[in-house]
């Protein structure tokens, strides 16, 4: 315990944040025999440090290296600056652009980073205000920056924040992948050996002008194309889910000539406390209740929702007297069909999706003479598919404009959905009709997810180990045809903690731990002669999968 106490005091002494200093002082004052809970809390906070990986950093706010705070962010900024200087190797001064969303401390973390980048001799550019993550990803390409940092925890719980890194140059403004993550992490570890009080800082960074946002709005409005002619009189509903999407999205709608929506007023302005949702993720049950209430009251034709940093999009449509939220696969295939038609027969053009997304995208690609790339999960991989014209993953992420943003982008995806809705409307049809059209074109696939949330992440590791030690030979009535373990991928191929079971009859089950939450996920895909047959087979497979997961 003495080592923990010494580490906590050293952390407190370099911490510039009065709130987290007081937090540590309180724990330190109670540590020892009188308060075993304080001992346990300190031990947990100093048991290691949040690991910098291909998703950057993400965790709960608080003091100590296992939390998100100004000390940890300063170390990350110093490490990234050292990595960029090393890559530049005496060439021009590296340029790094920094963005931030509306979560607690996002603006502070962004300003700290800009000061440290400038102090390290980089040309640092801070975006002018809180903005969606896609605007930061766009700015990296638009400004020809060497790197970008977005301070966001996306759709995580309210007390979380994060630090997402993009690279310019050969990476084209995509999120980092190995070996860049390890290289940056090594420099962060070196920076953590000293005190952040000794890091040079400078306020000689640039604050970007509105022209960056204007350029993003212009490029994104163009996604809708000529189809907006059918949008006159269209009634629809929208929520920003207390995030930063509305201002930029509204400007984009105006630029494209699309009528503004009825909004869920209680959720339209940024609020890092997320007071109306238990979990600010449009995938979660109940998260879209307020926008669906607004949609019903207005007689809306459909409803859209962004997550808090507006890089994901959810879509809901009227269905048998109620409302149905489309799955990520349904929206992904709907947008994939749009992209496939536009690129049909183009040599080298490729559709891409994560390997846990619907097999239907492969069918679309083949029907239109396009390439298909199935990648590891995450847009850091999807965005790097050669010849990419469209990419998606089932977790509500869509990349529809790869020449503008090399990441999932909920704003441009919304413009594509609005274009489809307007075009269908001009023909007397609906988004629901278009979803049915895609299913008829490529065949019926029932896709879904079974997941378990755990308090102890060791449960997830133990479950994956058990599946590897004794792989199931069948799931219910379906025999396992092949098992693919991505931990054993060939040299040079991306690897991951993923197990894929291909079953008789064309079904498949894929197991993987979540990259951002304490969950073990199983992804199920089942084809069927009809939608009803596929749904029935899915329910049978779902029951069999639940039987092999931890209780």
Query: 117 pairs with which residues across the strands?
Result: none
Segment (H or E) for 352: strand 350-354
Looking at 163, 190, 208, the residue that finishes a domain is 208
321: pLDDT confidence band, cut at 50, 70 and 90? confident
pLDDT above 90: percentage of residues in the chain? 86
188: pLDDT confidence band, cut at 50, 70 and 90? very high
95/147 same-domain check: yes
Q: Please, are residues 224 and 415 in contact by the beta-carbon 8 Å criterion?
A: yes
Exposure string for 475-500, b = 16+ CB within 10 A, e = fewer: beebebeeeebbeeeeeeeeebebbb
pLDDT of residue 515: 72
CA dihedral 151, 156, 158, 164 (to 10 degrees): -10
Largest CA distance in the chain: 74
pLDDT(89) > 80: no
Pairing between β-strand 397-399 and β-strand 388-393 as defined by DSSP bridges: antiparallel
pLDDT(114) > 90: yes
Residue 166: strand, helix, or coil? strand
Q: 89 or 44: whose pLDDT is higher?
A: 44
Could you tell me where the DSSP H helices lie in 121-276? 133-142, 180-191, 210-221, 245-256
**87 CB-contact burial (10 Å; exposed 0-12 / middle 13-18 / buried 19+):** middle
Spatial CB neighbours of 22, under 8 Å, sequence gap ≥ 6:
none
User: Rounded to an integer, what distance in angstroms lies between the CA atom of residue 305 and that of residue 282?
Assistant: 7
Measure Cα distances from 22 to 30, 224, 435 in Å. 12, 51, 54
Query: Encoding tokens for residue 506?
Result: 């064309």
Rg (CA), the chain: 24
Spatial CB neighbours of 257, under 8 Å, sequence gap ≥ 6:
228, 231
92/122 same-domain check: yes
Query: Encoding tokens for residue 461?
Result: 């590791």
Mean pLDDT of the residues in the chain: 94
Exposure string for 258-276, b = 16+ CB within 10 A, e = fewer: beebbbbebbbebbbebeb
Q: Please, are residues 238 and 295 in contact by the beta-carbon 8 Å criterion?
A: no
255/161 same-domain check: no
Number of domains present in the structure of the chain: 4
Lowest-confidence segment of 189-193, 237-241, 375-379 by average pLDDT: 375-379
34/86 same-domain check: no
Query: Among candidates 399, 419, 326, which has minimal Cα distance to 133?
Result: 399
Q: What angle do CA 373, 377, 378 make, to 5 degrees?
A: 100
CB-CB neighbours of 364 under 10 Å: 22
61/19 same-domain check: no
Q: What count of Cα atoms within 13 Å lies in the side-chain half-sphere of residue 419? A: 21
**215 CB-contact burial (10 Å; exposed 0-12 / middle 13-18 / buried 19+):** middle
Range of the domain at 498: 444-548
Q: Say whether 154 is catalytic.
A: yes
Q: Residue 190's Cα: distance from chain center in Å? A: 28
Residue 461: strand, helix, or coil? helix
pLDDT of residue 491: 66
377/246 same-domain check: yes
Query: 503 pairs with which residues across the strands?
Result: 480
436: pLDDT confidence band, cut at 50, 70 and 90? very high
Q: Please, are residues 57 and 76 in contact by the beta-carbon 8 Å criterion?
A: yes
The arithmetic mean of pLDDT across residues 277-282, rounded, is 92
Given 154, 358, 373, 383, the catalytic residue: 154
Q: Residue 227's Cα: distance from chain center in Å? A: 28
Backbone φ and ψ for 150, nearest 5 degrees, come out as: -115, 120
268/373 same-domain check: yes
Lowest-confidence segment of 11-15, 35-39, 100-104, 188-192 by average pLDDT: 35-39
22/139 same-domain check: no
pLDDT above 70: percentage of residues in the chain? 98
pLDDT(495) > 80: no
User: Rounded to an integer, what distance in angstroms lies between the CA atom of residue 46 and that of residue 66?
Assistant: 6
Spatial CB neighbours of 433, under 8 Å, sequence gap ≥ 6:
424
Dihedral of alpha carbons 527, 529, 534, 540, sign: negative
Q: What angle do CA 64, 67, 69 make, to 5 degrees?
A: 80
305/354 same-domain check: yes
User: Rounded to an integer, what distance in angstroms lies between the CA atom of residue 515 and that of residue 378?
Assistant: 9
113/184 same-domain check: yes
Looking at 442, 477, 506, the residue that finishes a domain is 442
| DSSP character at residue 261 | P
pLDDT of residue 455: 85
Q: Please, are residues 393 and 332 in contact by the beta-carbon 8 Å criterion?
A: yes
pLDDT of residue 492: 61
Looking at 165, 190, 208, the residue that finishes a domain is 208
pLDDT(494) > 70: no
Q: Name the one residue in this structure whose structure tokens are 């990349």.
A: 399
95/183 same-domain check: yes
pLDDT(551) > 80: no
User: Rounded to an integer, what distance in angstroms lies between the CA atom of residue 267 and that of residue 275?
Assistant: 9
User: Rounded to an integer, what distance in angstroms lies between the CA atom of residue 429 and that of residue 20?
Assistant: 55
Measure Cα distances from 6 to 9, 42, 64, 75 in Å. 5, 11, 12, 19
The arithmetic mean of pLDDT across residues 289-317, rounded, is 98
pLDDT of residue 518: 84
Which CATH number covers residue 393?
3.40.120.10
Q: Please, are residues 486 and 415 in contact by the beta-carbon 8 Å criterion?
A: no
Query: Encoding tokens for residue 544?
Result: 């069999």
Residue 474: strand, helix, or coil? strand
Query: Among candidates 22, 153, 164, which has minimal Cα distance to 80?
Result: 164
User: Rounded to an integer, what distance in angstroms lies between the CA atom of residue 406 and that of residue 176?
Assistant: 11
Q: 295 or 486: whose pLDDT is higher?
A: 295
The arithmetic mean of pLDDT across residues 375-389, rounded, is 95
**522 CB-contact burial (10 Å; exposed 0-12 / middle 13-18 / buried 19+):** buried
498/515 same-domain check: yes
> pLDDT of 11-59, one tens digit each?
999 999 999 999 999 999 988 767 788 889 999 999 999 988 777 999 9
pLDDT(60) > 80: yes
User: Rounded to an integer, what distance in angstroms lies between the CA atom of residue 384 and that of residue 362?
Assistant: 17
């Amino acid at each position: 315990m003495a080592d923990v106490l010494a580490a906590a005091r050293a952390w407190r002494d370099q911490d510039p944040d009065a709130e987290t200093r007081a937090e540590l002082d309180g724990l330190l004052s109670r540590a020892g025999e009188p308060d075993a809970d304080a001992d346990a809390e300190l031990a947990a906070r100093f048991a290691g440090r949040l690991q910098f990986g291909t998703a950057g950093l993400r965790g709960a706010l608080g003091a100590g290296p296992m939390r998100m705070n100004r000390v940890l962010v300063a170390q990350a900024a110093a490490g990234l600056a050292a990595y960029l200087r090393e890559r530049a190797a005496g060439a021009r001064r590296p340029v790094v652009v920094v963005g931030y969303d509306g979560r607690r401390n996002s603006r502070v973390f962004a300003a700290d980073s800009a000061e440290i980048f400038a102090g390290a001799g980089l040309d640092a550019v801070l975006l002018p205000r809180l903005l969606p993550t896609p605007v930061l990803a766009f700015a990296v390409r638009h400004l020809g920056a060497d790197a970008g940092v977005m301070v966001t925890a996306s759709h995580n719980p309210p007390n979380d924040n994060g630090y997402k890194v993009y690279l310019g140059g050969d990476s084209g403004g995509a999120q980092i992948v190995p070996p860049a993550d390890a290289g940056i992490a090594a420099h962060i570890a070196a920076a953590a050996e000293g005190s952040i009080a000794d890091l040079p800082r400078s306020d000689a960074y640039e604050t970007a002008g509105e022209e960056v946002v204007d350029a993003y709005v212009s490029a994104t409005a163009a996604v809708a194309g000529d189809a907006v002619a059918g949008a006159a009189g269209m009634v629809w509903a929208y929520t920003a889910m207390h995030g930063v999407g509305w201002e930029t999205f509204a400007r984009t709608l105006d630029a494209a000539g699309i009528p503004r929506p009825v909004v869920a007023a209680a959720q339209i302005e940024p609020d890092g406390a997320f007071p109306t949702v238990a979990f600010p993720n449009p995938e979660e049950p109940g998260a879209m209740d307020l926008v669906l209430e607004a949609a019903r009251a207005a007689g809306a034709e459909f409803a859209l929702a962004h997550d808090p940093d507006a890089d994901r999009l959810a879509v809901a449509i009227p269905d048998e007297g109620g409302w149905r939220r489309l799955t990520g696969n349904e929206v992904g295939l709907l947008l994939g069909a749009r992209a496939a038609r536009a690129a049909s027969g183009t040599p080298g053009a490729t559709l891409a999706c994560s390997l846990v997304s619907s097999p239907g995208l492969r069918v679309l690609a083949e029907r239109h003479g396009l390439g298909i790339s199935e990648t590891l999960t995450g847009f850091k991989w999807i965005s790097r598919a050669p010849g990419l014209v469209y990419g998606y993953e089932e977790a509500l992420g869509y990349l529809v404009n790869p020449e503008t943003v090399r990441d999932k982008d909920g704003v441009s995806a919304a413009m594509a959905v609005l274009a489809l809705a307007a075009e269908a409307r001009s023909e007397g049809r609906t988004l629901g009709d278009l979803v049915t059209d895609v299913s008829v074109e490529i065949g019926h696939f029932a896709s879904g997810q079974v997941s378990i949330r755990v308090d102890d992440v060791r449960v997830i590791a133990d479950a994956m180990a058990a599946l590897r030690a004794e792989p199931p030979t069948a799931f219910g009535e379906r025999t396992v045809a092949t098992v693919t373990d991505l931990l054993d991928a060939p040299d040079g191929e991306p690897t991951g903690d993923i197990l894929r079971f291909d079953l008789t009859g064309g079904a498949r089950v894929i197991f993987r731990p979540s990259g951002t939450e304490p969950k073990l996920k199983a992804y199920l895909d089942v084809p069927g002669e009809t939608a009803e047959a596929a749904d029935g087979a899915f329910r049978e497979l779902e029951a069999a999968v639940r039987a092999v997961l931890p209780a």
